[in-house]
Chain A
Amino acid sequence: MPSNGLRYITTTTFTTASTVSVDNCFSSTYKHYLLRGYVLGSTGTSQYINLRLRASGTDASGSDYRRQFIQAASTSPSANRATTDTSMVFGRGIAQVATAYSPYNELWLHNPYDAVRTTAAVELSYDFTGNISLFSEVGAHGLTTQYDGCTIFASAGTITGQFSIFGLAVS
């Protein structure tokens, strides 16, 4: 008999925060997680919103994050790779404006709580004020550590927004 496959874990809401940490959101109950919501930065579209894995209240901030992205802005697709970053991408900042934009922001995390390398996939849009651009990225964390939480933060300025974490059932 089929069961509910996408299960709600928690939601975090924040305003003009420098960092937002969520503890105990990853567990042995799930292996695959979906983070959905929106994050507005304070400094503009070039601002990255980053994510670090977290265990027992401490961020994993070593140079163990690797990422490859493809983006398309108008007629120009481009790509790039980084292999020794200290975080992965969660989103791209959109300057807080009077009119509330709702950027599309989707992050999948695979196996953060398992003692294997965590992988991630991100899809997001940015440049909502007039233009629109596509950004898609895959990432991996080089350590085989169990992580029970995550922290998101802006590369500069503060962040305002809300995101929810879902787990995919494995039985």
Chain B
Amino acid sequence: MTLFQALGPFAASGSGMGDLEFITSTTFSAASTVSVDNCFSSRYTHYLMLRDVSGTVAQNIIQARMRVGGVDASAANYRQQSLTGSSTTVSGARATGNTAFNPLLGYVEATSIGLVQAWMSNPFQAVPTTAVVRHTQAATGNIVAEYLLLAHDLSTSYDGISFLVAQGGGASTGTITGTIYIYGLVA
């Protein structure tokens, strides 16, 4: 699902009474892992995740693992394809056999909270979960646009998700502080 498909009806109506519902938010401090249980349900098929998060080590990334019954799905079933714009260069990269979405909620910055929009489809349905992510960084210096399509291969129903700080391009693995918001689209 694209942002256009997801949000077109709201703008068209102009009523503001769209069926994008706030489900939950989780606030944390100096965390290396954040788990959110019971956020996915049969009420929704598609979800939007936003974040206001800063971290202790710049260039760390926030990975994610699907979760059911309080247990992370950590097997090598995650795949992704990226499209990156950096100055005048357009590039792509594919990874299969990952043990997490890498990343799902973008890069960590020490001095700002960056931009991440992550749409996830079908986590609770017994089909492979997919996601679309757009993210960038807000720190001073250069700016890069990255788009990701992600998929989890198993046809498992997941009711939660874990976010994990990983080194990414950072010098080490630090912690994150902030809030993650989860919304659901009513079908």
Contact = CB atoms under 8 A, between A and B. Distances in A.
A164 B184 CA distance: 21
A80 B87 contact: yes
A79 B147 CA distance: 13
B72 to A, nearest CB: 25
Contacts of A101: none
Contact of A70 (B15, B43, B90, B141): B90
A108 interface: yes
A58 B114 CA distance: 25
Contact of B183 (A68, A141, A168): A168
A106 B4 contact: yes
Given A119-B138, A138-B145, A78 B3 contact: no
A68 B89 CA distance: 11
Contacts of A32: 50, 181
Given A68-B136, A68-B143, A170-B22, A2 B11 contact: no
A108 B90 contact: no
Contact of B90 (A2, A11, A78, A111): A78
Contacts of B10: 6, 34, 36, 166
A110 B136 CA distance: 12
Interface string B30-56: 000000000000010000101010000
B145 A80 contact: no
Given A2-B21, A117-B138, A139-B143, A168 B11 contact: no
Contacts of A166: 10-11, 16
B7 A106 contact: yes
Contacts of A11: 14
A106 B164 CA distance: 30
B22 A111 contact: no
B23 interface: yes
Interface residues of A, number: 52
Contacts of B114: 119
B120 interface: no
Nearest to A123: B3
A81 B136 CA distance: 13
A36 B11 contact: yes
B43 A79 contact: no
A104 B4 contact: yes
B14 to A, nearest CB: 5
A67 B10 CA distance: 27
Contacts of B169: none
B71 interface: no
Contacts of B11: 34, 36-37, 106, 164, 166
A138 B17 contact: no
Contact of A171 (B25, B88, B147): B25
A119 B51 CA distance: 12
Given A6-B10, A68-B144, A171-B22, A81 B137 contact: no
A32 B17 CA distance: 17
A119 B22 contact: no
Nearest to A31: B52
B20 A117 contact: no
21 contacts: A2-B21, A4-B18, A4-B20, A5-B18, A32-B181, A66-B143, A68-B85, A69-B145, A70-B83, A79-B87, A81-B143, A110-B113, A111-B113, A117-B113, A121-B136, A123-B3, A138-B134, A138-B135, A166-B10, A166-B16, A171-B25
